[in-house]
Amino acid sequence: MSLGSLIFLMSLLRAFGLGDPGPLEDVVIDRYYIPKICLREVQMGDFIRYHYNGTFKDGKKFDSSYDRGATVAGVVGVGRLITGMDRGLQGMCVNERRHLIVPPHLGYGSLGVAGLIPPDTTLYFDVIMLDIWNKDDKLQIDTLYKPEHCNRTVEDSDFVRYHYNGTLLDGTPFDSSYGKEGTYDTYVGTGWLIKGMDQGLLGMCAGEKRRITIPPFLAYGEKGYGTVIPPQASLVFDVLLVDLHNPKDGIALEHLEVPESCRRKTVTGDFIRYHYNGTLMDGTLFDSSYSRNHTYDTYIGKGYIIPGMDQGLQGVCVGEKRRIIIPPHLAYGENGAGDKIPGSAVLVFDIHVIDFHNPEDPVEIETLFRPEDCNVTSQDRDFIRYHYNCSLMDGTKLFSSHDYDSPQEVTLGANKVIEGLNRGLLNMCVGEKRVIIIPPHLGHGENGARGVPGSAVLRFEVELMSREDGVPEGYLFIWHEDPPENLYEEMDLNKDGEILPEEFITFIKTQIADGKGRLMPSSEPEKVIADMFQNQDRNQDGKITADELKLKTDEDQERVHEEL
């Protein structure tokens, strides 16, 4: 046992009446609780806050800070405390507990305190240290977590949203944003916060966590705050920065993926279809078009969407992926939206552009291959056969003629295909290959069709396989020369005064075979002839009479006279 330990033990024995009852020479200190972590010890000149109970040797209490409901605050080593207390408090940690035995000459001496402490009295103190600081202290910042990617940090005049837990230096909680309805929202560096918090938030990233320890002179000082923060209290804030912006901010763009080929970019007035994930700055998802399995469709620059998105969608390409960061004054402002977007929230949209068009757009045609010996091209009313692949602009396959045994067949101008495709198939050579881009107003419109989303731009890859001359609209058969003068008599093959279906079919086929006329092109010529007979059999009795038979030109002339 060292000499110092022996002297300390003898002092304890004397103090508790177990040894020599002679007077103590110095303060006896019993550190009966020492925290595992001690970041700082009391030194001369430090300002401290502590609680204590003061008793005599017999245990009778003469004073207690607990009874007064307030801690004791003061400076160590400058003569404001009794000498024994000055010595006994030095070296203490926050939350440390000590028993102190103060001999009379280090307490109130031979005078005592009238009516409270008799002369030459040894004093016993039970002390817990709550706070330590010094006028030379600075703000202490400990970074608990910092995101890998940090595009921007807090600066003076920024508006921030953050969560916090506030405690005193001994760990006593006094406030927390987590138990309230939302984050704490305020400007930085404008005097709305205590000075220590104004300084402690500077340089933070969204998503960063910090522990900010603030000495009293940068917090609430001598007055404290209400009943929860005592005078001269150091404060500890565990802060999570949720987001930040400046009122002067515009939108911020990050180009995540830009297609190598971009033939056109969006401008004001375009109609766009895009997918998106919308998050807060801390990554909290508040909305997603993917969850609805449907794109968001809207006009750009016409006020149908928040201003920041109107700006962020300008200049995008089909297939582009872009991150748009929107400050609240260009989003939902101070009020937020619903229960998922808080007031003054910065919004982050990750978008994927599926397609866009303008209501004035024509059909776009790109010729991939055109035969050199091409003298005849497809025209209105022609009957054509063609192969096609149809997809959305993002490459999603919709339909293909290659999935069937034969090419697609259609009479151009007969309203059998969408208008944009009809236009794209005109003036093609047999063997020609094209890409045809069709805006929705020339496709399936706002409602779409089976398998086709509403307002979708369509991409067709087509190859013209064959072409047959057509007939004028409304005609099923045309003559290459003047028809017979006695048409009815020639058509009445058995000369019985009426024309049956068999006679009609035989006559028409003979005219075609002799090159005197031709049918409307069709994959079902028999049906075309049957439709012709049906049209002439006015009373639908299965035969054509002389009064019923009329040429198409005669029918059109009669209608003109009726109208006149």
How does DSSP assign 288-307, residue by residue?
ESGGGTS-EEEESSSSSS-H
CA-based nearest residue to 284, from 151, 182, 417: 182
Boundary-marking domain end, from 211, 245, 279? 245
pLDDT above 90 covers what percent of the chain?
Answer: 80
Which residues constitute the domain of residue 492? 477-563
Q: Is residue 324 part of a domain?
A: yes
Residue 555, pLDDT score: 63
Burial class (CB in 10 A: 0-12, 13-18, 19+), 345: buried
Residue 14, pLDDT score: 41
Catalytic residue among 63, 120, 175, 287: 175
Residue type, 157: S
pLDDT, tens only, 261-288? 898 999 999 999 999 999 999 899 999 9
Residue 458 pairs in a beta bridge with 392, 438
**pLDDT of 17 above 50:** no
**Residue 531 bears catalytic tag:** no
Helix, strand or coil, per DSSP, at residue 198: helix
**Residue 220 bears catalytic tag:** yes
| Token pair 């369509």 in the structure block, residue | 458
Q: List CB contacts of 385: < 8 A, sequence separation 6 or more.
A: 406, 407, 408, 409, 464, 465, 466, 467
Is the separation of the CB atoms in 462 and 450 below 8 Å?
no
Residue type, 76: V
pLDDT, tens only, 282-339? 899 999 999 999 999 999 999 999 999 999 999 999 999 999 999 999 999 999 999 9
Is the separation of the CB atoms in 471 and 399 below 8 Å?
no
Rounded mean pLDDT, 393-404: 94
**pLDDT of 446 above 90:** yes
Q: Is residue 9 part of a domain?
A: no
Catalytic residue among 52, 124, 125, 237: 237
Q: Count of residues for the chain?
A: 564
Is the separation of the CB atoms in 352 and 275 below 8 Å?
yes
**pLDDT of 405 above 90:** no
Q: Are residues 41 and 87 in the same domain?
A: yes
**pLDDT of 393 above 60:** yes
Confidence of residue 479 (pLDDT cuts 50, 70, 90): confident
CATH assignment at residue 301: 3.10.50.40
Q: Are residues 43 and 108 in the same domain?
A: yes
> Range with the lowest mean pLDDT among 59-63, 331-335, 462-466, 548-552?
548-552
Boundary-marking domain end, from 305, 339, 357? 357
Confidence of residue 472 (pLDDT cuts 50, 70, 90): confident
What is the Cα–Cα distance from 348 to 230, expressed in whole angstroms?
A: 41
Burial class (CB in 10 A: 0-12, 13-18, 19+), 459: buried
**pLDDT of 10 above 70:** no
What is the Cα–Cα distance from 511 to 293, expressed in whole angstroms?
A: 58
Residue 81, pLDDT score: 93
Is the separation of the CB atoms in 459 and 364 below 8 Å?
no
Q: Is residue 78 part of a domain?
A: yes
Residue 561, pLDDT score: 34
Q: Is residue 115 part of a domain?
A: yes
Helix, strand or coil, per DSSP, at residue 8: helix
Q: Are residues 241 and 199 in the same domain?
A: yes
Q: Are residues 85 and 175 in the same domain?
A: no
Taking CA atoms, 517 is separated from 71, 413, 520, in Å, by 115, 21, 10
CA-based nearest residue to 154, from 197, 111, 101: 197
**Residue 164 bears catalytic tag:** yes
Q: Are residues 277 and 230 in the same domain?
A: no
pLDDT, tens only, 216-256? 999 999 999 999 999 999 999 999 999 999 999 999 999 99
pLDDT, tens only, 357-378? 999 999 999 999 999 999 999 9
What is the Cα–Cα distance from 186 to 427, expressed in whole angstroms?
A: 66
Q: Are residues 393 and 464 in the same domain?
A: yes
Catalytic residue among 47, 52, 108, 220: 220
| Greater pLDDT, 17 or 91 | 91
> Range with the lowest mean pLDDT among 3-7, 180-184, 222-226, 547-551?
3-7
Q: Are residues 312 and 231 in the same domain?
A: no
What is the Cα–Cα distance from 425 to 438, expressed in whole angstroms?
A: 12
- The whole-model pTM stands at 0.74
E strand or H helix at 29, and its extent? Answer: strand 28-33
Residue 156, pLDDT score: 96
Q: Is residue 2 part of a domain?
A: no
What is the per-residue burial (b if ≥16 Cβ within 10 Å, else e) of 228-252?
Answer: ebbebbbbbbbbbbbbbbbeebebb
Residue 452, pLDDT score: 96
Is the separation of the CB atoms in 375 and 306 below 8 Å?
no
Q: Are residues 349 and 411 in the same domain?
A: no
Q: Are residues 370 and 455 in the same domain?
A: yes
Taking CA atoms, 129 is separated from 55, 138, 225, 364, in Å, by 18, 21, 20, 81
pLDDT, tens only, 98-151? 999 999 999 999 999 999 999 999 999 999 999 999 999 999 999 999 999 898
Catalytic residue among 47, 50, 162, 164: 164
Q: How many domains does the chain have?
A: 5
Residue type, 147: P
What is the Cα–Cα distance from 98 to 106, expressed in whole angstroms?
A: 17
Residue 364, pLDDT score: 96
Q: Are residues 391 and 448 in the same domain?
A: yes
HSE, side-chain direction, 13 A CA sphere, residue 556 = 7
Residue 24, pLDDT score: 78
Q: List CB contacts of 551: < 8 A, sequence separation 6 or more.
A: 483, 487
Residue 123, pLDDT score: 97
Catalytic residue among 194, 478, 505, 512: 194
| Greater pLDDT, 271 or 8 | 271
**pLDDT of 9 above 80:** no
What is the Cα–Cα distance from 69 to 51, expressed in whole angstroms?
A: 9
Confidence of residue 22 (pLDDT cuts 50, 70, 90): low
Catalytic residue among 56, 62, 174, 187: 174
Residue 2, pLDDT score: 37
Q: Is residue 491 part of a domain?
A: yes
Q: Are residues 481 and 429 in the same domain?
A: no
Count the neighbouring beta carbons within 10 Å of the beta carbon of residue 505: 15
What is the Cα–Cα distance from 28 to 51, expressed in whole angstroms?
A: 18
Q: Are residues 344 and 390 in the same domain?
A: no
| Token pair 């000459």 in the structure block, residue | 105
What is the Cα–Cα distance from 441 to 362, expressed in whole angstroms?
A: 9
Rounded mean pLDDT, 459-467: 97
CATH assignment at residue 534: 1.10.238.10
Boundary-marking domain end, from 96, 114, 133? 133
Q: Is residue 21 part of a domain?
A: no
**pLDDT of 459 above 90:** yes
Is the separation of the CB atoms in 290 and 261 below 8 Å?
no
Rounded mean pLDDT, 512-527: 86
